[in-house]
A and B are shown apart, each in its own frame.
Chain A
């Protein structure tokens, strides 16, 4: 299964609403997770099963979608949210999206 993530780079300001999308090459039900990675650090789980927020993750993060199309939304971007985000499909083996770097506008 291939996963196409877009955009590759996103320029935004604090307070902006940010949306990142992932499209799977075949239906994966809701077997998709989202991760945040900061430079020099390991990825951190944000959302699993398409829309379930991991414990301790701020509620400004949300996930939606099922089948082939998924979205990660940050409702109001905070300074700590500038990072790279990855989606992961785990329906059949494991495949990551290419990543989206959220940078300062």
Chain B
């Protein structure tokens, strides 16, 4: 059974930093691209970032480019999102998501971790 468990969310001041983690199990982690998707309170879904299985290709949404960094550790079966220069509009639930292969749809989702950017 695929399991994706996010951690690291919390309250942070505008301009601050936060690092999210996602522990993956139940599948061959290095074989699939992984993504972060977020959802602001009461709003729709927004893709944030994607990383291929060997970290060869990384993609970001324009809204986070230059501020967020996605990375992975295939030994620890973990996905990360380093978030810097946080803004109020980054407040959202952040989901760790597994792609079906690479460059594909999102097949499995974690339960999400809430990031609140507020003074």
Query: Could you tell me which A residues sit within 8 Å of B by CB distance?
Result: 31, 33, 35, 37, 42-45, 48-49, 86, 88, 90, 93-99
Contacts and interface: CB of A to CB of B under 8 A. Distances in A.
Contacts of B109: 42-44
B106 A45 contact: yes
Contacts, number: 48
Given A93-B59, A94-B35, A88 B44 contact: no
Interface residues of B, number: 19
B100 interface: yes
A95 B47 contact: yes
Nearest to B59: A93
B105 A96 contact: no
Nearest to A89: B105
B47 A93 contact: yes
A90 B45 contact: no
